[in-house]
Structure 1
């Protein structure tokens, strides 16, 4: 009888643990596909898609668009469309801005003009081409700090 009780206790513990883990990920929205974001907002500007990390729970990619293909005025229209589609602007400082659709997914936009670009909080922004817009696409199912607020 004691063995069955212990076995029942172990099985119950496993079921509860599995239930807690499934509830944790249950409320996390599915990632909006990066290539869909690229097509919807930036497709007509001939972006170059460069994935860095593509995993189900954590993804990062960069779009590069030559500055001659996308003006600042056109980017302002894209920013308006992002906002009207539910993306919340969480930072707009100098040549850098960030938009979150929820606390798990973010778009960051950089128009590099200086050798060293920084965010509002002084964090260095790394980019590879001064002659192109850098659009950073992030997803993390644990949340993104700037998007949690």
Structure 2
């Protein structure tokens, strides 16, 4: 009986360590990610929500300091960091790292922008690129759908 208990305990410990290394549990500090992605640009950083279960960070960069070639460099960095491009539609781009992290990027060229699903994308000025970085402990719908079907 003692040997069985030791084997069972060993199995439980190994199982727990395997699950604790899952991609979903790795915490991404959105402020550090912003510095990593935008270190070569003059940008503003605004934390709209900072809780343990949800975070929303908005990064804006003036178009006079950032163009489509700069966006392609950021896109390449995101791919190198393991992000997946979920959608690109009408100057609106969506990336996910896993089911819990998302970055929405908008280069507004029209007075109104919409996602592919018809949801309105809010922005203040057509003079800036917008990078909305999200974390939700329970998951982000479009990311969960993407990884479920991947």
Query: What TM-score, normalized by structure 2, do the two folds share?
Result: 0.78
For residues 127 and 133 of structure 2, the distance between their equivalents in structure 1, rounded to whole angstroms, comes to 19
1:29-108 aligned at under 5 Å gives the runs 29-108=25-104
Partner deviation per Cα, 1:12-54 (whole Å, 9 max, x = no partner) = xxxxxxxxxxxxxx66424311111111111211110011110
- Counterpart for residue 113 of structure 1: 109
Indicate the RMSD between aligned Cα atoms, in angstroms: 1.3
- Counterpart for residue 129 of structure 1: 125
In structure 1, list runs of 5 or more residues that go unmatched: 1-25
1:31–1:139 CA contact under 8 A, matched in 2 = no
Give 1 or 2 for the bigger CA radius of gyration: 1
Dislocated runs of 4+, deviation >2 Å:
none
Tell me the matched-pair count. 124
For residues 108 and 35 of structure 1, the distance between their equivalents in structure 2, rounded to whole angstroms, comes to 15
Query: What TM-score, normalized by structure 1, do the two folds share?
Result: 0.79
